[in-house]
Amino acid sequence: GAGVSQSPSNKVTEKGKDVELRCDPISGHTALYWYRQSLGQGLEFLIYFQGNSAPDKSGLPSDRFSAERTGGSVSTLTIQRTQQEDSAVYLCASSAGGGLEQYFGPGTRLTVT
């Protein structure tokens, strides 16, 4: 079956612009996670969805970051007024439930110039 997909695969944007990153989880997976992988910081957790609700937003680095999930499926991570330090690979993962095995998408490489 289809795995986790993310789009776009690459995004180059100018500082100050807004960007939207999309994640399509594995069908039927209720839990969805966003992570960020940047040089020098490793992989860090951003936000978790159970269904359409986000009970844990503790990893979002600033109020410029927001995310939503609709229909218990697709999720969008939005970064407003992008800064150069936002440059990273943004990874999405889904699982059949919180705490179960997580499956990752290929990531979106964001470059802010």
Cα–Cα distance measured from residue 64 to residue 30, given in angstroms and rounded to the nearest whole number? 26
Contact positions with another protein (CB under 8 A) in 28-47: 33, 35, 42-43, 45
Among 47, 33, 44, smallest CA distance to 96 is for 33
What type of residue is 112?
V
Examine residue 107 and tell whether it contacts another protein (CB under 8 A).
yes
Q: 53 or 80, CB closer to another protein?
A: 53
Cβ distance to another protein smaller for residue 10 or 83: 10
| Burial class of 109 by CB neighbour count within 10 A (0 to 12, 13 to 18, 19+) | middle
13 forms part of the interface with another protein (CB under 8 A): no
Residues of the shown chain interacting with another protein in the complex, contacts defined by CB under 8 A: 33, 35, 42-43, 45, 48, 50, 55-56, 58-59, 91, 93, 98-99, 101-107
